[in-house]
């Protein structure tokens, strides 16, 4: 199958139906051992210093990995992608655009999906068959999620990696499924994490330092049991059709759709506190105002830029946040013990 680069989660069913193998350029970038150089390639080409690292990384990946066809999302993801798309065209790449409707309206979504299918030379009927074929692997990813928050046998990092890869199934669906199945089998034999660890939600775009962040949180007496956007990539509410599935996917629309999902998961997963990750120079950082107004829990807003490790400054902030939550939890249990004695 011919590779097609994608800049975010898109209706992959249509791409696969058209004979393409989707490759999430973000995952290639962040998984590369040469991330700094990929960013450098973009800066040398003229991308400004104050442009988001993910955008620069995607550009670097396109140029250095011989990607010749890219599907860019022009509405429902990132305004920077629009200009990235123009630059990629300038560099001679075949660029196809896809726009999520402004509202999660099934009729509008159906039209957008049909337009994309027509552009790629396939049909929604064929894409719907592919949706059925992907169901098993998406279920498996969501089982990993359940094993994280409900059974306590999967780490925050494993959860992140398993879910974030559902945007393109790691570029090889069978291999991805095999790895997930192996993780599920292994995890079911593990001892669960201790009950007294604080339970955190991670909301926002995926971090540029996942390999550092999740284990650091666990070393400090807490664990991430909810990765918001990554879980959305796995389509937890698939609905009855392709159009419904991509309307239920919360990320492209108003942030209030995300808030509803987050609040529901916070209750279900018994979350103690929230880490809101924001990428430097990203418009989505402004959403912090809305999250802080809507979520009645301690929130740490953590900003990453182009350090692919958790630097000392960020470590100190994470430690202080977890310490504060531990003190909060212990003063609450003292109050309730005193109440019981009285
Ligand atoms: S982090 Fe923000 S600015 Fe960067 S690609 Fe994602 S949405 Fe765009």
Q: Residue 134 is encoded by which pair of tokens?
A: 């992907």
CA distance 198 to 223: 6
Calpha distance 225→230 (Å, rounded): 12
Report d(CA 317, CA 33) in Å as an integer: 26
Average pLDDT along the chain, 342 residues, taken 10 residues at a time: 95 98 96 96 96 97 92 94 96 97 97 98 98 96 98 98 97 95 98 96 97 97 98 98 98 97 98 98 96 98 96 98 93 72 60
Check residue 330 and give its pLDDT: 83
pTM of the prediction? 0.95
Q: Is residue 100 part of a domain?
A: yes
Residue nearest to atom 4 of ligand 1 (CA): 52
Please report the sign of the dihedral spanned by the C-alpha atoms of residue 207, residue 177, residue 68, residue 121: negative
Mutate to test the pocket of ligand 1, among 52, 53, 74, 255 (most ligand atoms within 8 A of CB): 52
pLDDT of residue 333: 73
Residue 11 resides in a domain: yes
Domain of 35, CATH number, reads 3.40.50.11890
Per-residue pLDDT at 71 = 98
| The total number of structural domains that make up the chain | 1
Tell me if 267 is assigned to some domain.
Answer: no
Tell me, what's the pLDDT at 332? 77
- Does residue 136 form part of some domain? no
Q: What is the DSSP string of 310-337?
A: --HHHHHHHHHHHHHHHHHHHHHHHHHH
- How many CB atoms are closer than 10 A to CB 290? 14
pLDDT for position 331: 82
**By residue range, what is the domain housing residue 112?**
2-125
Residue with tokens 């992140």: 160
Residues 6+ apart with CB under 8 A from 239: 245, 247, 248
Q: Which residue, by CA, sits nearest to atom 2 of ligand 1?
A: 282
Residue 340, pLDDT score: 66
Residue 107 lies in a domain: yes
318 in a structural domain: no
**Any ligand 1 atom below 6 A from CB of 205:** yes
Q: Which atom of ligand 1 is nearest to the CA of 80?
A: 8
What sign results for the dihedral spanned by CA atoms 300, 313, 226, 336?
Answer: negative
Residues belonging to the chain: 342
Please tell me if the CB atom of residue 14 comes closer than 6 angstroms to any atom of ligand 1. no
Structure confidence at residue 341 (pLDDT): 64
Ligand 1, atom nearest to 205 Cα: 1
Q: For position 1, what pLDDT does the model report?
A: 83
Determine, yes or no, domain membership for 180. Answer: no
**Considering Cα of 173, then 175, then 141, then 73, what sign does the dihedral take?**
negative
The pLDDT score that the predictor gives to residue 33 is: 95
pLDDT computed for residue 240 by the predictor: 97
305 within some domain: no
């Amino acid at each position: 199958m011919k590779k097609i680069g994608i800049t975010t989660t898109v209706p992959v069913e249509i791409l696969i139906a058209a004979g393409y193998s989707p490759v999430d350029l973000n995952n290639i970038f962040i998984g590369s051992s040469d991330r700094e150089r990929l960013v450098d390639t973009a800066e040398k080409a003229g991308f400004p210093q104050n442009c988001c690292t993910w955008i620069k990384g995607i550009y670097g990946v396109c140029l250095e990995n011989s990607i010749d066809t890219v599907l860019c999302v022009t509405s429902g993801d990132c305004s920077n992608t629009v200009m990235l798309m123009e630059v990629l065209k300038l560099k001679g790449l075949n660029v196809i655009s896809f726009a999520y409707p402004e509202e999660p309206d099934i009729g509008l979504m159906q039209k957008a999906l049909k337009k994309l299918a027509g552009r790629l030379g396939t049909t929604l009927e064929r894409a719907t068959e592919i949706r059925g074929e992907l169901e098993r692997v998406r279920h498996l990813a969501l089982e990993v999620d359940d094993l994280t928050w409900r059974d306590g046998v999967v780490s925050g990092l494993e959860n992140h990696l398993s879910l974030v890869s559902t945007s393109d199934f790691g570029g090889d669906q069978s291999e991805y499924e095999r790895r997930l199945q192996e993780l599920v089998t292994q995890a079911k034999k593990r001892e669960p994490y201790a009950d007294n660890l604080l339970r955190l939600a991670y909301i926002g775009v995926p971090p540029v330092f996942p390999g550092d962040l999740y284990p650091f949180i666990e070393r400090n007496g807490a664990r991430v049991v909810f990765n918001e956007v990554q879980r959305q990539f796995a389509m937890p509410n698939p609905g009855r059709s392709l159009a419904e599935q991509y309307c239920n996917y919360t990320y492209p629309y108003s942030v209030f759709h995300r808030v509803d999902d987050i609040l529901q998961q916070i209750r279900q997963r018994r979350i103690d506190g929230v880490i809101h990750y924001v990428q430097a120079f990203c418009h989505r950082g402004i959403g912090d105002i809305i999250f802080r107004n809507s979520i009645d829990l301690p929130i740490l807003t953590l900003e990453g830029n182009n350090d692919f490790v958790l630097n000392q400054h960020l470590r100190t902030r994470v430690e202080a946040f977890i310490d504060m939550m531990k003190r909060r939890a212990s003063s609450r249990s003292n109050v309730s013990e005193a109440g019981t004695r009285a």
